[in-house]
Structure 1
Amino acid sequence: MNHRLPTVIALLLAGLWGAALGYLHLQQQSNSGLIERVEATLVDLRSMIVGVRSPPDIVSIVAIDDRTAAAHGYPLKRETLAQLVTSIGALKPKALALDILLVDPGTEEGDAALAMAIKAAPSIIAGAATFPQSLQSVTTNAEDPFATVPEAQQLLLPQPRFAEAAPLGIVNVATDQSGVPRFIPLFSRAADRLDAAFPLRAASIALGAEPLIENHGIRLGAHRIPTDTGQRLPLTFYGPAGSISTFSAADALDGKLPADAITGKVVVIGATVTGGGDVFPTPFDPILPGVEVMSTAITHLIAGDGMVRDSRTRQADAGIATALPVLLVALVAWRRGALGFVIICLTVIAWAMLNLAAFANGYWLSAALPIAAALPPAIIFGAAELWRDRRRARHFADQSERLQRIEAPGLGEWLARDPAFLAEPVRQNASVVFIDLSGFTGLSEAVGPAMVREILSGFFELIDEEVRLLGGAITSFMGDGAMILFGLPAPAADDAARAAACAIRLADRTRLFLAGHPELRRRKIGFKLGAHCGPIVASRLGTGDRQQITATGDTVNVAQRLMEVAASRGAELAFSASLLEAAGPDAVPLQTGRLAGPFETKLRGRSGGIAIYTWRGETL
């Protein structure tokens, strides 16, 4: 339960974080936010992955290019422009859109000729809007489809005679921070008027249908075009400059323009001359002419092949931004480690592929928003879990270290691998060694608890070192002695040999330990050991969290009684003959005067006798 509560809190916080970002995304009125800046970069990346597309053969561009400027000057005189419009109009285009601002008067004759030429063809002329600031605050009103359209401060309108000759379209574009056109505002609102965008006017004339305005979309005849916040049309580009069929105005003026380039199509006249200034960076071209940006938008409106980014896609973005961080946090909580990392990576890759597939099929789902929503919670929660895992690992390491101080290393490792080890008693063969200090009880009364603790700590430490060295298991420290087993966690052929070697090493180490302590030497504290082998019953004693591994049976009792035999015979160590036989001839040093026996002896509490050997080390 303690582990689940932080996870539940993390899931709730991740969901709230994602939902908050999703709400702000739904209310987004501009392209100025950090998330939108990242999104712009990711849109370019997805566009390049999807690659260049062939646009529908709907729009032709007649470009006032370097050839035209070299032959006729730049800007074109109104008379020359009138001639260009007339020559194109004669080829029967569906619509003729002049992406040229006619805000300044020309000569009377030139302006009159141009107005007449414009009026004779299904034409659209350009205007522009300026705004008091780059970031526009607007009021959201579900009942007013123009409530989110920013209000222009000033309109740059064509001369009145041109405005009377053809409908007006506003040529503004909405760019991101790097200047890439992302949207075409389909309407421009001023204090006393509402004007359609240049591409919308051209598409309306070409389709012969007036636009019907709806919330988050417009309708042109049978086509409904979804729009983003502020009645904006999302832009995606077909490729670099020239992707939309482009012809030189010089050819049109010379009568060399092919008829199939004009007849039945929307024709956009605009400047591409070097140094003209009306260029924009795009994913495919750093200097895409503005006339091609307008032509791309016209194609989107007529063909319906533009990106869908509207209220429904934004709602989908908000839903993904809420769900993805919850999912990633849940995955981090569910499984850490290599498998969990792989699952998380596969989840992120699956989302990225779905996002890219949606983009390739014309649905602009945000990529930056889910990343911003999912990354901080996943990283923070993952770091917190890693910190908690490390704390838990340190805790377990401390517990393991404490366990190793009580249990032999082999038993501790075995218990870590198999928590059920000896949950049920096991009967098996083992070798048992007992060691005990002689005369220590009287010393304890004389020197006090601090000195007793110091002496016993040193004594137990040397026992632990020797037992570890030979792979035994200290099952218990008993007062001023210890019980040691060789045969756990599983019996081995050399248990008796290692037990005999351990007993002799303990005798040598203990003798030196007692001789090196003045108080112990003065009071002539001694020691005794007993060693025996045979069947034992190994089990856990205790209940709940307090359990101890121990061994019982006659073999244990005999080993303990052999300490008394050693003391009664003036020896340091008493072996059972069965243990030395199992240990082999090289188990005990056979120097004269150290190993004696065998002797038949009686043990307290036993009716029969037992063959033993006694051993004593060299006197210091």
Structure 2
Amino acid sequence: MTSALPRWVAALALLSGLVWAALLCQQHLAGTASVIDRFETVLLDLRITLAGERPAPENITIVAIDDRTVSEVGTYPLDRKTLAELVTGIREAGAAAIAIDILLSGESTETDDAALAATLESLPAVIAAAARVADAQQTASAVPVVREALAPDPRFAETATVGLVNIVTDDGGTPRHIPLLFLSGSGLQPSFGLKALELASGRTPSLTEEGVRIGDRVQPLDLGWHLALNYYGPAETVDTISAARLLDGDPVDLHGRLAVLGVTATAVGDRFATPFDPVMPGVEIQATGIANLLDGSALLRTGAIRLTDAAAALTITLLGLAAIAFLPLAPAVFFYIALLAGWLALTMILFGQGQWLNAALPFAASLPPVIALLLSRQVFERLRSQKLARASAALSRFQSPKLAGRVAEDPTFLAVPKEQDAAMLFVDLSGYTGLSEELGPVRTRDFLKEFHTIVVDVVSQYDGVVLDFMGDGAMLGFGIPDASAEDPANAAGCCFELERRVSQWIADAGMAGRISRVRVGAHVGEVVLSRLGHDSQQQIAATGDCVNVAARLLEVAKDHDASVVLSSDLMRATSAMTELDYSPPRQATVAIRGRQQELTVGLWRSGEIPPGFVAPGGTG
């Protein structure tokens, strides 16, 4: 079934849907946080989980201040003398550089501070600073603005570089981005990971419009030079050793590696949920970001990819709305679901290549307008169905319900005439002309209405249709619109039942003196079904020799003083369909006006109707 939507409704839905999708796309392109991000992170985690774990680069090792370390040292936080020993051990193990994810602020002894400062001078090092940015849940839309910074002791900042360790989490607390730049009152400040990259690679990275250049390679970044994290696996997927091993003097090989020193001990330090692990130490988050920069495996979420997301959202919205508006409903819904499924499949395939397409945006952009249009279409189609039902009911008052229903289902029904077998029956009342003059128009109408009601009731009982009412007569058809082997027997049964019912009604109404009898004639043969009339006003008609013969049988009934006249063709066809053994009380071969060939007929007067005659499909 095609859509019942008015064109203005479809146009309004398309326009409204595109405006809605455009607003969401604008937010996405600007990197503005929205409720869509919550659904996107769920779909992102699903893609990460399905992609599975992968090896971390070998040139980075986490030196963990873990439970064993805290237990052996006996205090937490570790004093700066112990930290100096750790840095010394890392240097002696051959590390190329060290990144200390510990805030070296607060009070300490002069001796310990001096020892730590001296060891930091012996090895390329970056130490952590933290900042309070303008937005606590800063999104990847712009360079974070530092409102207040917690810097390390100036003594350490003189011997090592400093980088900010702030990360960007989603609403669920999972780190998704690491900003590589921060804007403070003194200008742009590098992140902890960016400075660690410089130390580990031995090259000074430079920022381009959409990424960071590392030697000959450019790592694309998200808006505001945010690095989109691509996790390797659960905690300790990045190579991790206990700091206690270095303090105990165990042999450790860190040759050429970047050592990231941080806290992993239980109940101390920061913890985050990740797609692989409900609890991952903050130092491993930082190490993951640095490793992504080193091996170039960070998720690709550039401005061009965001434009792809927006284009997909607008296209799916437009195509989904157009399908719902103009296609049959079932294919339209299937097409729309296929569009969404195709987009999900594409995001999964490209995720395997490191591209982070937004899986949720096309859903959020298209679902509300598509569902709204779908509900609107159902309302309009229900209204149309009700209107068609009313029209069909009204049409049934002027056409047989069977024919009216067929026309309602198929407006092209009988646009081309067709030939088929049918049984035709004519009925009229003898003496009606004088009666109508006596009764006058109003009472005549009431009289005919009662007569026509009997005709409709009986013909419906025998699965026939009324093709036309002609004053005191009617033309009935059996096998119209669809032929059946039972049509002749139904027509014969209808003849006898009509004679019985109408005769009884005449007697009960006290009209026996004015209406002498009811006459019924029936014949079977080939008819032509077609639409007759003008293009703007038509009726379904049956024509052909069979119709003419059936009509002329009423004259035969009058000439032979009979109430029911059946052609021999109809009687033979009826006998083949019923086990009743009956023969007409009289039989005659008669000439049919307008027809050269004579016809043998069976004749019955009112009292000669066979009792208990039941045609297939009838009730007797």
Structures share fold, TM-score greater than 0.5:
yes
Q: What residue in structure 1 maps to residue 240 of structure 2?
A: 246
Counterpart for residue 189 of structure 1: 183
Distance 2:15 2:460 in 1: 51
Change (3 A) 1:99 1:542: same
Match of residue 156, structure 2, among 157, 162, 174: 162
8 A contact 1:538–1:549 mirrored in 2: yes
User: Runs of 5+ in structure 2 lacking a partner?
Assistant: 609-620
In 2, Cα distance between equivalents of 1:426 and 1:270: 90
Separation (CA, whole Å) in 2 of partners of 1:273 and 1:491: 89
Q: 1:563: how far off?
A: 2.3
How many angstroms apart in 2 are the aligned matches of 1:419 and 1:386? 22
Equivalent pair of 1:500/1:587 in contact (CA under 8 Å) = no
Cα distance between partner residues in 2 of 1:154 and 1:450: 100
Name the TM-score, length of structure 2 as normaliser: 0.87
Is the CA contact (8 Å cut-off) linking 1:132 and 1:153 kept in structure 2?
Answer: yes
- Map of 2:95 onto structure 1: 93
Q: Distance in 1 between matches of 2:419 and 2:134?
A: 93
> What is the aligned partner in structure 2 of residue 48 from structure 1?
49
Q: Which moved more, 1:161-170 or 1:192-201?
A: 192-201
TM-score, reference length from structure 1: 0.87
Q: Residue 166 of structure 2 is aligned with which of 146, 166, 172? A: 172
1:129–1:188 CA contact under 8 A, matched in 2: no
Q: Could you tell me how far 1:451 is from its partner in structure 2? A: 5.3
> Is 1:82–1:113's contact at 8 Å kept on the other side of the alignment?
yes
SS in 1 for 2:136: coil
Q: Aligned partners of 1:425, 1:171: CA distance in 2, in Å?
A: 85
Displacement after TM superposition at 1:279 (Å):
0.8
Contact 1:408 1:472 in 2 (8 A): no
Measure, in 1, the Cα distance between the counterparts of 2:228 and 2:6: 47
Q: Which residues of structure 1 form unaligned runs of 5+?
A: 141-147
Q: Which residue does 2:22 correspond to in 1?
A: 19
Q: 1:116 aligns with which of 95, 99, 118?
A: 118
Does the 8 Å contact 1:580/1:587 carry over to 2?
Answer: no
1:209 to 203, 214, 223: 203
Report the secondary structure of 1:258's partner residue. Answer: coil
Counterpart check, 1:615 vs 2:604: yes
* TM-aligned CA deviation for residue 167 of structure 1: 0.8
> Do structure 1's residue 222 and structure 2's residue 222 form an aligned pair?
no
CA apart distance, 1:397: 4.7
Q: Which whole-Å CA distance do the structure 2 matches of 1:41 and 1:90 have between them?
A: 44
Q: Does 1:271 align with 2:272?
A: no
* Count of residues paired in the alignment: 605
Quote the residue 2:537 is aligned against: 546
Aligned to 1:129: 131
More deviation, 547-556/56-65: 547-556
Distance change >3 Å, CA 472–CA 221, structure 1 → 2: same
- Alignment-derived partner of residue 560 in structure 1: 551
| SS of equivalent residue, structure 1 residue 352 | helix
Looking at structure 1, the residues matched to 552 and 231 of structure 2 have their Cα atoms a distance apart, in angstroms, of 96
Question: Aligned-pair RMSD on alpha carbons?
Answer: 3.4
Q: 1:431 to 1:278 in 2, by over 3 A?
A: closer
Note the C-alpha offset of 1:493. Answer: 5.6
Secondary structure of the residue aligned to 2:477 is: strand
* Aligned partners of 1:574 and 1:614 also within 8 Å: yes
> How is 1:250-399 mapped onto 2 (pairs within 5 angstroms)?
250-259=244-253, 262-333=254-325, 335-336=327-328, 340-398=332-390
Question: Does the 8 Å contact 1:501/1:587 carry over to 2?
Answer: no
Classify the secondary structure of the residue corresponding to 1:502: helix
Q: How far apart in 2 are the matches of 1:605 and 1:245?
A: 108
Q: CA deviation at 1:201?
A: 0.5
Match for residue 66 of structure 1? 67
Instruction: Tell me how far 1:455 sits from its aligned partner.
Output: 4.4
Are residues 1:597 and 2:579 paired? no
Shift of 1:408: 5.4
Distance in 1 between the 2:213 and 2:416 partners? 80
The one-character-per-residue Cα deviations of 1:579-599 (angstroms, maximum 9, x if unpaired) are 44554499899999xx54234
Q: Answer yes or no: is the 8 Å Cα contact 1:14–1:326 preserved in 2.
A: yes
Cα distance in 2 for residues equivalent to 1:197 and 1:582? 99
Other-structure match for 1:79: 81
Counterpart residue type for residue 116 of structure 1: A
For residues 90-129 of structure 1, the C-alpha deviation after alignment (integer angstroms, 9 at most, x for no partner) is 2332220111101112000000100111111100011000
Match of 2:523 among 532, 554, 560: 532
How far is 1:402 from its partner? 5.4
Structure 2 CA distance for partners of 1:93 and 1:618, relative to 1, 3 Å: same
Name the % identity.
Answer: 39
Hey, what's the Cα distance between the residues in 1 that align with 2:55 and 2:155? 38
Deviation at residue 424 of structure 1 after TM alignment? 5.1
Deviations 1:433-476 (A, max 9, x none): 11123444565566676655554444333323332333334322
**How far is 1:508 from its partner?**
1.1
Give the 3-state SS of the residue equivalent to 1:366 in structure 2: coil
Letter of the 1:21 partner, please give it: L
SS at match of 1:268: strand
What is the DSSP-based 3-state SS (H/G/I as helix, E as strand, rest coil) of the residue aligned with 2:223? Answer: coil
- What CA distance in whole angstroms lies between the structure 1 residues aligned with 2:578 and 2:498? 14
User: Could you tell me how far 1:484 is from its partner in structure 2?
Assistant: 1.7
Q: For the structure 1 residues 17 and 237, does the alpha-carbon distance in structure 2 shift closer, same or farther, using more than 3 Å as the test?
A: same
Deviates more, 1:604-613 or 1:104-113: 604-613
Give the conservation status (yes or no) of the 8 Å contact 1:472–1:485: yes
1:233 to 227, 231, 236: 227
Q: Counterpart amino acid of 1:68?
A: T
Greater shift in the superposed pair: 292-301 or 89-98: 89-98
AA in 1 matched with 2:605: R
Query: Structure 1 pair 66/497, CA: closer, same or farther in 2 (3 Å)?
Result: closer
The answer as to whether partners of 1:577 and 1:598 remain within 8 angstroms in 2 is no
Distance 1:332 1:585 in 2: 54
One-letter amino acid of the counterpart of residue 531, structure 1? A
> SS state of the match for residue 204, structure 1?
helix
Among candidates 559, 563, 578, match of residue 572 of structure 1: 563
The offset of 1:485, in angstroms, is 2.7
Q: Distance in 1 between matches of 2:567 and 2:130?
A: 111
Alpha-carbon distance in 2 for matches of 1:83, 1:124 = 17
Is 1:149 aligned with 2:143? Answer: yes
The residue type equivalent to 1:213 in the other structure is L
Whole-Å separation in 2 of the counterparts to 1:315 and 1:76: 48
